[in-house]
Chains A and B, each alone.
Chain A
Amino acid sequence: MQSSSITLSLTIWVPILAGVLTLFLNSERQKDSARWVALIGSILGLAVAIPLWTGFDNASSAMQFVERTSWVSRFNINYALGVDGISMLFVLLNSFTTILVVIAAWEVIQDKVSQYLAAFLIMSGLINGVFAATDAILFYLFFEAMLIPMFLIIGVWGGPRRVYAAVKFFLYTLLGSLLMLAALIYLYNVTNGSFDISDYHRVPLGMTAQTLLFFAFFASFSVKVPMWPVHTWLPDAHVEAPTGGSVILAAITLKIGAYGFLRFNLPIAPDASHALAGFMITLSLIAVVYIGFVALAQTDMKKLVAYSSISHMGFVTLGFFIFNAQGMEGGLVQMVSHGFISAAMFLCIGVLYDRVHSREISAYGGVVNTMPKFAFFAVLFGMANSGLPATSGFVGEFMVILGAMKVNFWFAFAAAITLILGAAYTLWMVKRVVFGDIANDDVRALKDLNGREMLFLSILAIAVLVMGIWPQPFTDVMHSSVDALLKHVATGKLN
């Protein structure tokens, strides 16, 4: 587990190499080879990540599986990797989701197959890099680089308004990224020339510096989460993205923003985090309640789930900024769970879209009559999205609400409104799409799930249920790191 480990490097470079390999299989008759190479590459990607789980030391809050090689020695930039209880699960989640995306694309994507799959594989490696990097510049590099495949996925395989969506996303991201870079350079100077993130955690900082740093990182991460009011890029991006893009976007990239708060804002600016907790909690609760209402008004299924994602991510940031174990672990659990559920929701929408080519709720009705198997999954994931106990969707929300109650009754009160709103927008959509009599000829002509679709939805269903029935293995991983972080934040940097 010392510097000899190459596990993390493998999780980054295996998918990237597989992606590059896939890229070469770009002729028309190599489509199938491209698919198989991508599938094997993504499975290998998960396989090499498994040791992270099996070899993880739950008792330690330190970085594990660390690797460190000097990279640009002039600026003291290192190729430094490591995971702790906060980041480890997301490397696994990402590697896992990549497989699903490859399977989901199998027959659906017929245009530029190899490039499509390659983009996802390369992105998967880059995202693993984001979660594993312990060097600030390396992090920044991965953080920015992963956008490129995502832009391409939306831009090339996206819907009619993809350019608008991409530009909007770009506008949002640009300012934040620059401010983060400035913050990193500032920290580099303060620490006398270090890009090691853990040095930033230790370096003493005054309140003003902390506040400015907090907002610099906030500008970058709040867009990614996304928090209200910088969330409006997400529904557009989702609507334009192909199914796989939506899945990765919701399941993984949103988590990077939340992860950034835990890796940068809280430990680097603990006192500012405390001082600004009210601000963050307010934004989170607005996301939960306001966005919940907005979701209710959506007529496009993807937009609805996109808004639902924003609302659910509000729970994550709420959990982080109430500074107790239930909140923070609840937030992390919610991130993983939302990875499963949002992926499943978008895949379900994709299943319908592939057949009818509409995302409008009103284009459906009575799908259960022709697709009973699909209806089973749609109701299951709909219930999970509504936070039904025994599904993973419940665990995080429950813990965050328990944690919030410790801090303030009204925080818990506002957060718990999601119990009603979440059920309302999700199940109302389920009602209008799945239940009822056959609404039109498109629905009448629907074919039920094929084996491939059964496969990925079943895998996700099992994940959702297992995590809901027995979340302990997931939380046990987090305890040490979360406790250490909470202690660090409680101590502060001012004295």
Chain B
Amino acid sequence: MIQNKLALLAIPLLPLLGAVLAGFFGRALGRTFAHSVTILGVTGAFTLSCFVFQDVQAGQAFNGAVYTWLVTDGIPLQVGFLIDSLTVTMMLVVTFVSLMVHIYTIGYMAEDEGYTRFFAYISLFTFSMLMLVMSNNFLQLFFGWEAVGLVSYLLIGFWYKRPTAIYANLKAFLVNRVGDFGFLLGIGLIFAYFGTLDYGTVFSQAAKFKDTLIEVVPGWHWALLTAICICLFIGAMGKSAQFPLHVWLPDSMEGPTPISALIHAATMVTAGIFMVARMSPLFEMSQTALAFVLAIGSITAFFMALIAIVQYDIKRVVAYSTLSQLGYMTMALGAGAYQAGIFHLMTHAFFKAVLFLGAGSVIIAMHHEQDMRKMGGLRKYLPITYFTVLIGALANAGFPPFAGFFSKDSIIEAIHMSQTPGHIIAYYAALAGVFVGGLYSFRLVFFAFHGKERFHDDAYGHAHDHAHDKHDAHDKHDDHADHEHHGLAPGEKPHETPWVVTLPLILLAIPSVLIGWMAIEPMLYGNYFIDSIVPTDTMAMMKKEFHGAWAMVTHGLMTPPFWLALGGAATAWYCYILKPELPAKIRAAFAAPVKLLEEKYYFDRFNDWFFAAGARNLGRGLWKFGDVTIIDGIMVNGTAKLIGWFSGVARKVQTGYLYTYAFTMIIGVFGFLTIVYFKLR
């Protein structure tokens, strides 16, 4: 199987075929055709991935080119696959979550006129993501990297009539481009020094460049590998929404919920994590780069979690939770525990997909109402959704024995044991984040599913609109006009969503419970990743402390993370069940810090003012002053005027009157003769 190049090629190409068919013929051949053909494609990709997984388990691997993209200077740049344990893990996660989301979409998008287009997009995304993870070289990695960005752009702006959606997708694309800018420079550095873009060659030669210094700024020497790793990581910061390039992810919630689950939680945003793990042979050679990674991860994990506490939009709570969890994964990478990062990536993919799809289920049941202040007591009406979201929240908060516990606890342990500079501070940030994680996860559960029913409570505006007003200064369109009326009709009660929605929830909830338990030993402490991730001291030390998954659970009950998470959950219970009037009082008492969180630390405002408006004004200035005034005004038109003036003078001489010419001639002859006379004398 794994040695069959054609079969490997089929894995990404089947979803692509589905996308093309649904995209070009979906309108003509109908909805059933569109979702059948795409689901068939993704099912095929998933099935084939399972077979490949078996082969990888049996110790096989594949690394080879598919075709040569181009040759430059004798160096071939190829499109090719590297299939090992890391790749196949990603392939399984991507195809499985994608399949679930495809099924879910049948229910979620049932009333949308862009139904077939949506299926084409998510299948195209699956193709792009598979190309990204299956790559064996930096060129194709960048291909996939940008291609998933493109699909993300298309999907965030899926409802293209909404000003907020097309604002968010442009923002997402551009912020990602900032990351890609760094990423491309990193690739450029690799090409310049290694003379190849092939992973295998680069990794095997990395040791040779361990002590190479480059002088980027005169007099300031950098280790080459540090520069490369930091450049690459800037790419990861864009894609995986790490501080300060995190700003696009919350806004990406403008897209339909299924893609928030698939792209902006489970798969695409983890591409950066995957990439760094893939590059572990490079990152392991630069303590500086690792420290940078760890610092960025800590900031993201802690500060983004805080914002989740003040959000009312159910999707945005989950979005900020995603940011925070991505921060944890990044911290794991910075601590040298790549396996733990990938492990968390996997568990997170399942439980965050549950949370998002669960939130989506609530949103359908509430007729596109996203404000939690208008929910409450939903568990009665949406039992399956409630139950699965509860599992998701427990996993997200890291309660044993749910999947998130194993991965998050491993990360915290890894940070504790790592030797990366700054790991002590990171450790406390991670611990604090656990408390906040418990708080926001259960705030969501209690706020939306417990307590008083507030469906027909008109005390609050629509969170949906409210959230947009702030950042949309230059889109002066009427926001409300585009939205179909949302919320329940008076007296109407929500009811459970159809099976196409709940089935994926259940199928994703199962691994959210079990996968941590099952996978921790082989993935972290076994030989599963032996062929793809370099062994590190951190992992070796952790292995000494590990005595099986069950022991970890029992031990986990006595460690700070568990009590912190419990504390967070208890706080949420106290504030939203026991004393529901308390949050408002807290808000009033701590107006300034709450405002800071509501404004997301003013990043959006700063970016809009400094980068967006700044760039436009700079452009206008350069244009009006540089091009119009200096070049055109002075140089071009000035030349023209000068010539015009000169010819004006010259023209005056040519009057057309014979006597003027005769007179000039006489004067001329006289002058000439005078000169000749004096010369000759």
Contacts and interface: CB of A to CB of B under 8 A. Distances in A.
Interface of A: 167-168, 171-172, 229, 232-233, 290, 293-298, 324-326, 329-330, 366, 368-369, 379, 383, 388-390, 394-395, 398-399, 401-402, 404-406, 409-410, 412-413, 416-417, 419-421, 423-424, 427-428, 431, 434-437, 470-472, 474-476, 479
Interface of B: 67-73, 139, 142-143, 146-147, 150, 153-154, 157, 160-161, 163, 166-167, 170, 173-174, 177-178, 180-181, 184-185, 187-189, 191-192, 214, 216, 477, 481-482, 615-616, 618-620, 622-623, 626-627, 631-632, 635-636, 639-640
Contacts of B139: 398
A419 B177 contact: yes
Contact of B73 (A296, A325, A419): A325
B157 A435 contact: yes
Given A293-B615, A295-B619, A436-B160, A405 B192 contact: yes
Interface of A is mostly: helix
Contacts of B618: 293
**9 residue pairs, one from A and one from B, having the closest CB atoms:** A405-B188, A297-B619, A296-B619, A293-B619, A297-B620, A325-B73, A435-B166, A389-B143, A294-B623
A58 B174 CA distance: 40
A172 B185 contact: no
A167 B640 CA distance: 9
B628 to A, nearest CB: 8
B607 to A, nearest CB: 13
Contact of B188 (A232, A329, A402): A402
A366 B161 contact: yes
B194 to A, nearest CB: 12
A241 B421 CA distance: 61
B190 to A, nearest CB: 9
Contacts of A409: 185, 189, 214, 216
Contacts of B163: 436-437
A399 B73 CA distance: 11
A233 B632 CA distance: 9
30 contacts: A229-B626, A229-B631, A232-B627, A232-B631, A232-B632, A290-B622, A290-B626, A293-B622, A295-B619, A297-B620, A326-B72, A399-B72, A402-B192, A405-B191, A406-B192, A409-B185, A410-B216, A416-B181, A417-B181, A419-B181, A420-B178, A427-B170, A431-B170, A435-B160, A437-B161, A437-B482, A470-B69, A472-B69, A475-B71, A475-B72
Contact of A369 (B161, B188, B622): B161
Contacts of A406: 191-192
Given A171-B640, A388-B146, A294 B70 contact: no
A401 B184 contact: yes
B217 to A, nearest CB: 9
Nearest to B176: A423
B481 A437 contact: yes
Contact of A419 (B72, B180, B189, B216): B180
A50 to B, nearest CB: 22
Contacts of A472: 68-71
Nearest to A299: B620
Given A294-B627, A437-B481, A420 B620 contact: no
B170 A428 contact: yes
A419 B639 CA distance: 36
Residue with the greatest number of chain B CB neighbours at <10 A, chosen from A427, A436, A470? A436
A87 to B, nearest CB: 20
A294 B191 contact: no
Contacts of A395: 70
Given A290-B622, A472-B68, A416 B184 contact: yes
